[in-house]
Amino acid sequence: MNKNGEWIRLSCKLVNDDRLEVKKAMLEDPTGPSSIYKYDDEIFKVMYLDEIKCMKYSFTKEPVEIK
């Protein structure tokens, strides 16, 4: 909450991406978790946000959708 009594709320759909090329790309990134996971194990998952909606709320104003 900011000093004006406003805050944002995000809502979305979390989508699992099982494509091997996506997993490989994540693990090839030097900042990625390649020391812990392998692309073909069942533990490592890649997900993305879809249908994202952001709303700004306030104690004194109506909610506003941020686009």
What pLDDT shows up at residue 50?
A: 97
- CA 17/CA 24 separation, integer angstroms: 12
Domain that holds residue 54: 6-66
CATH of the domain at 25: 2.30.110.10
Cβ contact 15:48 at 8 Å: yes
What pLDDT shows up at residue 16?
A: 96
21 part of a folded domain: yes
33 part of a folded domain: yes
Domain count, the chain: 1
What pLDDT shows up at residue 6?
A: 96
What pLDDT shows up at residue 52?
A: 97
Give the residues of the chain that fall short of pLDDT 70. Answer: none
